[in-house]
Amino acid sequence: MAYWLLKSEPDAYGWNDLVKEGEGTWDGVRNHRAANNLRAMQVGDEAFFYHSNIGKEIVGIAVISAAGLADPSDPEGKWAAVKVRPVRKLRRAVTLAQVKADPELAQMELVKFSRLSVAVVTVEEWAHILAMAGE
User: Can you tell me whether residue 80 is helix, strand or coil?
Assistant: strand
Distance, in Å, from the CA atom of 20 to the CA atom of 1, rounded to the nearest integer, reads 26
Distance, in Å, from the CA atom of 81 to the CA atom of 11, rounded to the nearest integer, reads 21
The whole-model pTM stands at: 0.95
How many domains are there within the chain?
1
Distance, in Å, from the CA atom of 135 to the CA atom of 131, rounded to the nearest integer, reads 5
The C-alpha torsion from 123 through 30 and 41 to 52, rounded to 10°, is 40
The CATH number assigned to the domain holding 74 equals 3.10.590.10
In the predicted structure, residue 3 carries a pLDDT above the cut 90: yes
Give the mean model confidence (pLDDT) for residues 8-29.
Answer: 95
Task: Domain of residue 75: give its range.
Answer: 3-132
Give the mean model confidence (pLDDT) for residues 107-117.
Answer: 93
Q: What does the pLDDT look like over 30-84, one tens digit per residue?
A: 999 999 999 999 999 999 999 998 999 999 999 999 999 999 999 998 999 999 9
Distance, in Å, from the CA atom of 79 to the CA atom of 31, rounded to the nearest integer, reads 9
